[in-house]
Amino acid sequence: MEKVLKTKRKVRFQDCDPFNHLNNSKYLEYFLNTREDQIAEHYDLDVFKYMHTTGLSWVVASNQISYLKPASTMETVVIESQLIQYTDNLLLVEMKMWNENETELKAILWIKFIPYNVQTKKAANHSDDLMKLFQSVVVPVDQSIFENRYIAIIQKLKARTHA
């Protein structure tokens, strides 16, 4: 099963600011929509069907994002995502936006999801089946602080371009 998921998306005119750059708030929409599509396609987990059958869904607890380079109108970007940490009541997903050739990093996002029972309107725990799925796809990272991870990624990219 693939652990790092990648999808190409085109940056749309209506999502851009007057400078023809993807609007900062739209990055989150592109990331979230892509992740939803990726887990449905690769893990056979449609979050809306899952919510209707189990009453469980996920809410965003926090986002940490760094914008590195602008994504421009009609540009094709690659959105990469991976689960980097999980517990019985938390998911931490790392997402990156690249240019089409994956040579230029445009943004990095950490997004924390909390399982939520829509019937009781309270936080919930993941099922054993979900925990098994998470265990099979998690790609842990060395850093537990977003800023440290961001620095490590940038340093790795600089070393790669100077090699």
What pLDDT, on the 0 to 100 scale, is given for residue 52?
96
Instruction: Evaluate if residue 95 carries a pLDDT over 70.
Output: yes
Taking only the tens place, the pLDDT of each residue in 23-45 is 999 999 999 999 999 999 999 99
Taking only the tens place, the pLDDT of each residue in 97-137 is 999 999 999 999 999 999 999 999 999 999 999 999 999 99
Average pLDDT estimate for 13-22: 97
Answer yes or no: are the C-beta atoms of 24 and 75 closer than 8 Å: no
Structural domains in the chain, CATH included, are 5-162 (3.10.129.10)
What pLDDT, on the 0 to 100 scale, is given for residue 163?
66
| DSSP annotation string for 16-58 | B-TTSBB-HHHHHHHHHHHHHHHHHHHH---HHHHHHHHSEEE
| Mean pLDDT, the chain, whole residue set | 96
Torsion of CA 55, 140, 146, 59, to 10 degrees: 0
Taking only the tens place, the pLDDT of each residue in 105-116 is 999 999 999 999
How far is the C-alpha of 145 from the C-alpha of 150, rounded, in Å?
9
Write out the two tokens for 67.
């914008």
pTM: 0.96
